Each structure stands twice: as C-alpha cells, then as structure tokens.
Amino acid sequence: MPYDAEILVVGCGNILFKDDGFGPEVIKALEEYFKDKEKPENVMFIDAGTGGPHFVFSLPHEQWKKMIVVDVVEFNAEPGTLRKFEVTEIPKGSYENMHTWPVSQPLHELSEKIDVVVIGCKPEEISAPNVEMGLTPPVKKAIPRAIQMILEEIGVSK
Amino acid sequence: MSERIVISPTSRQEGHAELVMEVDDEGIVTKGRYFSITPVRGLEKIVTGKAPETAPVIVQRICGVCPIPHTLASVEAIDDSLDIEVPKAGRLLRELTLAAHHVNSHAIHHFLIAPDFVPENMMVDAINSISEIRKNAQYVVDMVAGEGIHPSDIRIGGMADNITELARKRLYARLKQLKPKLNEHVELMIGLIEDKGLPEGLGVHNQPTLASHQLYGDRTKFDLDRFTEVMPESWYDDPEIAKRACSTIPLYDGRNVEVGPRARMVEFQGFKERGVVAQHVARALEMKTALSRAIEILDELDTSAPVRADFDERGTGKLGIGAIEGPRGLDVHMAKVENGKIQFYSALVPTTWNIPTMGPATEGFHHEYGPHVIRAYDPCLSCATHVMVVDDEDKSVIKDEMVRI
C-alpha cells in the first residue's frame, strides 16, 4: 500500500518485547479512537513494526509534509513519561537501516526535507531477547496522552 | 563388481540430503544409505534460558515449509510443562490451523512430484489446481492463526483470539466450495500415480509405522520410554558417511520407523498398503480427511468461547511433551520450564524418523527408481539436523555420550 498522505503517523517497535511494542500499540489505539469519528483525509496511520527505517523512512513520497514517529525513547524520566523530540535529539543509530542501503540514517536524512517529530515514551522494560508480549502498566497508561499529543500534531482539536 | 551411485543433493525435496546407492552389474541397488547434509540451525540452544513465549516464535522459524507443526508442537510442549488446560475452542482453532496446513503442504508435494507423474499436456491444469487449493488452505491459516507462514496467534495456553462469526461463516463457505475441486484433484493425482507403472513392491520395507493421531497429534500416544536415539557414526556402516551425516537416528522400540501420511492411515484407518505408490495415495487421501475435518470444526466452533487459558509461567521443571502430526509425520518437541525460563528444549522432527528407513527402502530395485522412493517420503531436512562438526581438521562430530535425551 502506498503511503501517499501528507501527514504520516508511524508507530515503530517490536511487539514481542514488552514496552518496545508501544508504537504499534498507539497506532492500534488511534485507529480505535477514529472508529466513530471523522479522520482527516490527509493523514495516514502506519504500524511499521521493526521495518520503519527500511520500508517507510527511506522511501519518501512527493506528497509527504510531516511525519510523526511514535516509539520508546530512553531519556532521564519516570517510565511512561512522554516527550516530543526533534530528530536531532535522537541518538544516532536509533533508526539505522541495517539493510545495506546507502542511507544509514534515513530518519535524519528525511528530517532535512520534511517536518519530522518523534513522540517518545520512556520504557520501563524491554524484554529482548525474551519474547514477553504486552506493555508494562506505566507505559500502557501513557497511550491516551500520546493520542492527545498526536492529535495536536495533526491539527485535530479536541 | 559393485558400483556406487551418489545423488547429492537429492532434488525436488526440501533441504539438502545425499543418497548413496551400491549397485550390482544389473544396476540393482544392493545397499542404500540416505542422510542429511543440511547445516545445523541450533534453535534449541537459542531458546534455552529464555522466556517461554520465546520458543514458539523462534522455533517456528526453523523452516518455512512446516512452521505450523513446529509452532504447535512448541506450545503443546510448554502447555504440558506448565500444566495448562487449553480451552476447547482454542484446541479446535489449533486443530483447524493444522488441518488447513496439511492440505497446503500435501499440495506442495504434488507440485514437487508432478514431473514424475503428470504428463506434459496436463501439467498446466495440475499446477493451477494445486495453486487454487493452496491459496484457499493458506487463507484459512492466515485468518485463523494470524499469518500464513509464521503464525503469530498460536500462543501458549491456546490462541491469541477467537475468530469472528463472520469469519467463521466465510471460511466455512469457502472450504465447502473447495471440496469438489479438491476431490477432483485427489482423484486425478491418485489415478496418475497408479497408472505410472512403477514396479510392484517398490519402496516396500518391513519397518513399523509410528503415528500418534489421525491428523492432529496426541502426546499420550508417544511413549518416551520406548524412544532411543543413536549417533550417525554407530548407525551408518560407512565411516565417511557417518562423519558427514548430520542428523541423529531416532528409534522406537529399538527400531527405525516410518512416519507420515501412510503411517497415520495404517495406525488409525486400517490401511494395509506399503511402498511408494501407497505412500502417495495415503498422502493424497489425507488431503480429503484434513479438509473434511476443517469443515467439521468450522461448523461446530463457538466463536464467542474463550480460546486461551491464563497461566503461571514460572513452571516447575516438569518435562512437557508436544506431539503433533505434521504433514511429513510425528513432530515431538520437549520443553522444561522453571523459574520463568526454558531450561531444556529438544525437537524430534518428522523426517528425522524417516531418514534411516528411506535409504534401505531403495534396495532391490534399479537405482533409477531411487529418487522415486526418496520423494515418496516428502522429505524435509531443514529441521532434522542435530549434529555438528566440531573439529574442522578431522571432521569429527560430537561424541555419543554428549547426546542427551
């Protein structure tokens, strides 16, 4: 499916490893939220799983204007704390494309062309390499607030 | 004057293996040895020490040919180790997934043996019919288990979700519609196989058959006390082959066995035939059995019932057994869970059982029939490899005493 919208909300992470599934879970919750509401036409929600750098960030479309990445970010705060990050604040290597393409930091590169923000949630536990599904309570609790932040970003007023 | 015919790797099967046949002046096989030369994957070691839920996710990636049996055997083994009682609807959905997978996998095998049996002018029709059947079967796996290749919704304790009533009705209608097409395909294949004129008695052997259930699998019918395992070096009488063979030799009551569709029909439906043609016929007939069972399950499934039991994942160190009848035969996974982690994991997989039986089954006929005998078992070697070379200098493999059951 072509990602041909002006604004993209991209949930990144691996649902097999506890809080790393935050991004995809937020996308699921967003779709649920808009089930009985009018979703703005120029917006697309994408559950990118672990394929964000390779399948989304490095394949830009003409019509893209803004991308909102939703993911867990390690920063100094309580688990479940949300914060908006600029791409420049994200440590190098966070969104590496390890599929041997020339672009190794596709999100950093993309942010030079379009508006990119990251809605980051501080994780409590990422269980890799142990498969343990489901978010920890503080991170699960952060979902409604994350949705509010995303709505503000895409210009949908409450 | 005996000669040696080597086919390496054997073709139109899954994975890499070698068939070595000693033949006399007439070209008749006097001694057949078949063994795996697929590199080891080591998945059992990867999952050891990890959380229980890791095992099904990892071991289903043992191979893309039969991920469903491995996923099911894995969750069944862990269910058993944790003493979980899977709710009825969850059991039915698991069974439905496997039934659909049987249909798909046997259809793939018909594709692999088509050049042996299907005349040129019928090839296109046969392949179209195979594709049509596979598409429908995979659609069921996809809808019920979350994904066609590596199903994500088969979980410890049952299934992730029940299907919706709408999905149940759709799948039921779809499979009902497939039934006449599948029956026609099965009749066609059986007809072509029987008319091929393969020599009477080809592939007949006197080894016992082993099966735990007609279609799904039953851990109570697999007795660990009757199972032993020997290293290839004490099985193959040719030291060179013994060194290169990389699967262990599993025995039941001390004998090598045959597992798979014919074994299941012998054990559960009073099937008496033996040999290559019988194996193909049994496999084709099993497609019908599997489709009927899938339709039956969709008819009786309660889509509002719970499909997953809650469980305590800490475990007691009990050895859990998961016995699943894969398309190619009995697939047994064993797992011990203690302190919330997998402490021991072992997979005893379908083709491993057949490997020691397959070589000798080529004996007594012209070596040109060797590949026919091998393909009748639908061998799949990828998950069978359990021995690895330690010393690259002299190619010696791990010692007998290191193999733990």
Distance between A129 CA and the closest CA of chain B, angstroms? 7
Buried b (16+ CB within 10 A) or exposed e, A5-36: bbbbbbbbbbbbbbbbbbbbbbbbbbeebbee
Whether residues A132 and B50 touch (CB distance < 8 A) is answered with no
C-alpha neighbours within 13 Å on the C-beta side of residue B38: 26
Helices B67-81, B88-117: crossing angle, 10 deg rounding: 150
Which residue is it, tokens 């390496």?
B8
Contact A130 B57 (CB under 8 A): no
Please list every residue in chain A whose beta carbon sits closer than 8 Å to the beta carbon of residue B53: 16, 130-133
Inter-chain residue contact A16 with B51, CB threshold 8 Å: no
CA dihedral B391, B397, B402, B404 (to 10 degrees): 140
What pLDDT does residue A102 have?
61
User: Which residue from B253, B233, B252, B229 is spatially nearest to B243, judged by alpha carbons?
Assistant: B233
Give the H/E segment covering residue B240. helix B239-244
Residue B401 has which token pair? 């005493």
For tokens 């029956």, the residue is B183
For A119, the token pair is: 């809605």
What angle, 0 to 180 degrees and rounded to 10, lies between the N-to-C axes of helices B276-300 and B165-195? 160
Give A84 to chain B, closest Cα distance, Å.
32
Structure confidence by residue, pLDDT tens digits, B285-308:
999 999 999 999 999 999 999 999
Alpha carbon A87 to its chain centroid, in Å, reads 12
Residue of A28, A47, A50, A131 best to disrupt the B interface, most CBs of B under 10 A: A131
Give per-residue pLDDT as tens, A96-148.
Answer: 877 656 667 889 889 999 999 999 999 999 999 999 999 999 999 999 999 99
The radius of gyration of chain B's CA atoms, rounded to the nearest angstrom, is 21
Query: A-chain residues within 8 Å CB-CB of B48?
Result: none
User: What local confidence, expressed as pLDDT, does residue A153 receive?
Assistant: 95
Strands B158-159 and A82-86: unpaired
Nearest chain B residue to A17 by CA: give it.
Answer: B54
Q: What is the pLDDT of residue B396?
A: 62
pLDDT in tens, B212-262: 999 999 999 999 999 999 988 899 999 889 888 888 899 999 999 999 999
d(CA A131, CA A82): 24
Contact B7, B19 (CB under 8 A): yes
A8's CB contacts (< 8 A; 6+ apart) are A43, A44, A45, A46, A56, A64, A66, A67, A68
Tokens at B226, concatenated: 């009757």
* A130 vs B contacts (CB less than 8 Å): 50-51, 53-54
**Burial of residue B44, with CB atoms counted within 10 A of its CB: 0-12 exposed, 13-18 middle, 19 or more buried:** buried
- Please tell me the predicted confidence (pLDDT) of residue B400: 47
Count H helices and E strands in chain B, helices first: 11, 10
Contact of A16 with chain B, judged by CB distance below 8 Å, is answered with yes
Distance to chain A for B54, nearest Cα, Å: 4
Report d(CA B248, CA B229) in Å as an integer: 7
pLDDT of residue A97: 77
Q: Taking the mean position of all CA atoms in its chain, how far away is CA B178?
A: 24
How far is it, in rounded angstroms, from Cα B107 to Cα B113?
10
Q: Which residue of B has its CA nearest to A129?
A: B50
Nearest C-alpha in A relative to B49: A130
Give the pTM. 0.89
* Sign of the alpha-carbon torsion through A96, A99, A101, A102: positive
| B46, B50, B314, best to mutate vs chain A, most A CBs in 10 Å | B50
Cβ–Cβ below 8 Å for B54 and A130: yes
Cβ under 8 Å to B: A residues 73-132: 127, 129-132
pLDDT in tens, A39-54: 999 999 999 999 998 8
Amino acid sitting at position B356: P
Out of B50, B53, B58, the one facing A133 most closely (by C-beta) is: B53
- Encode pLDDT of A25-35 as tens digits: 999 999 999 99
pLDDT at residue B247, as a whole number: 87
Cβ neighbours of residue B200 closer than 8 Å, sequence gap 6 or more: none
pLDDT at position A104: 74
In total, the C-beta contacts within 8 angstroms joining chain A to chain B are 18
What is the C-alpha to C-alpha distance for residues A107 and B330, in angstroms, rounded to an integer? 48
Low-confidence ranges of chain B (pLDDT < 50): 400-405
* pLDDT at B17 (0 to 100): 92
CB B59 within 8 A of CB B47: yes
**Local structure of residue B49 (DSSP, 8 states):** T
Q: What is the pLDDT of residue B401?
A: 39
Pairing of the two strands B158-159 and B227-230: unpaired
Q: Where are the beta strands (DSSP E) in B231-311?
A: 249-252
Q: Distance from first CA to last CA of chain A, Å, rounded?
A: 29
What residues in chain B have their Cβ under 8 A from chain A's Cβ atoms?
50-51, 53-54, 57-58
